[in-house]
Amino acid sequence: MAVEEVPGLLLAVAVGLALKAHPEEHVEQQDRDAGAHEPRPGHPGVVVEHEHHEAREHERGGNPVADRGGEHALVVPRAWHSEPVPAALPPPTFQLEGGRVAPARVLYGGRPLAVRVRFSAPGPADVRIQIERRGGGVARRFDLRAAAPRRLVEIRWDGRGGNGREAREGRYRVRAGRRGGRLRSIGGFTFRRHVYPVRGRHWFRGAIGRFGAPRSGGRTHEGFDINARCGTPVVAARVGRVKRQRYDPVLYGNFVIVRSASERRDYWYSHLRSPARVRRGARVRTGQRLGSVGASGNARSVGCHLHFELRGRGGPFDPQPRLRAWDRFS
């Protein structure tokens, strides 16, 4: 009954007894109560305990969490345990997906070089395709404006530089990419201006077949003889236009003359097995077939071979040095 009449007095007595038994816990509780109302910097309203309280717990040899029985454990906001928000992906950019370069050997005046590329981008983009000679120098540069992505972009190169002149012979590479950005190599090829006129096994006839060798009637040999089996293909060594195509029963037999306007030279192909496959005025490509090795004309007595001549403004000149050079890479 006394307890019910004076509850406030009973509570005060109980608290006093507790403070006498554990005075240090009262101080620590005051520290906790004071720190519990201090928000963590940067996280308003989040309640944490001071580090010095846990340090005192360790000095006493206790567990700062277990000794409290979970009653005053560190309060950690739920947001601290949530998964991190992934960063926004950058917008898609230009990417070269692939390219193709063909053929591996390009002949001036023959089949042109074809370059095809494919790229991905958010929208139309300016594409650059660059043809470079290995060892230095840009032969030709192609800029394609507002090309559509995910479609084949194609250019063709005829062997001329940006100034309209024939490119130098040698090995080349092709690079492509976004105009103004980094270009990537997509292939290579070899470029030649001429090709050897006999497309098969062949050999030189010897001294009798050289330029300037004596002939009957006080003549001299005005070309160079290339021996080969009858029927071996004969092709145009250089692009040009057919100047003459006929049959000469005395000397040349079936022959054809192709005029190279850019070089201002005539290319003669004689002793063909049959009339040439091209007509006068027709344009022929480098490497295009003209006929076959034969023994027509005065070659009937010596066997199948090609009589090859080069003629410039001053008349015929020795083609052997050029033939040897063309033979090395043809």
Total count of domains within the chain: 3
Token digits for 322? 């050029």
Which runs of E-coded beta strand occur in 193-252? 202-204, 224-228, 233-235, 240-248
What are the C-alpha distances in Å from 121 to residues 86, 124, 130? 24, 7, 20
Q: Give the pLDDT confidence of 147-174 residue by residue, as tens digits.
A: 999 999 999 999 999 899 999 999 999 9
Residue 28 has a pLDDT of: 47
Among 192, 220, 240, residue at a domain's last position: 192
Any alpha helices (H) in the chain, and if so which ranges?
Answer: 2-5, 7-21, 23-35, 51-59, 320-329
- The pTM of the full predicted model, rounded to 2 decimals, is 0.69
Whether 127 and 152 have beta carbons less than 8 Å apart is answered as: no
pLDDT band, residue 104 (cuts 50/70/90): very high
Among 28, 58, 81, residue at a domain's last position: 81
Whether 278 and 284 have beta carbons less than 8 Å apart is answered as: yes
pLDDT above 50 (res 286): yes
The type of residue at 99 is G
Domain with 245, as residue range(s), is 202-329
| pLDDT > 90 fraction of the chain, expressed in percent and rounded | 69
Same domain, 314 and 243: yes
Whether 124 and 164 have beta carbons less than 8 Å apart is answered as: no
Q: What is the CATH number of the domain that holds 101?
A: 2.60.40.10
Same domain, 57 and 145: no
Residue 3 has a pLDDT of: 40
Same domain, 185 and 301: no
Among 48, 81, 114, residue at a domain's last position: 81
Q: What is the CATH number of the domain that holds 280?
A: 2.70.70.10
Same domain, 277 and 314: yes
| Residue 147 zone, left/alpha/beta (φ > 0; ψ -120 to 50; rest) | beta
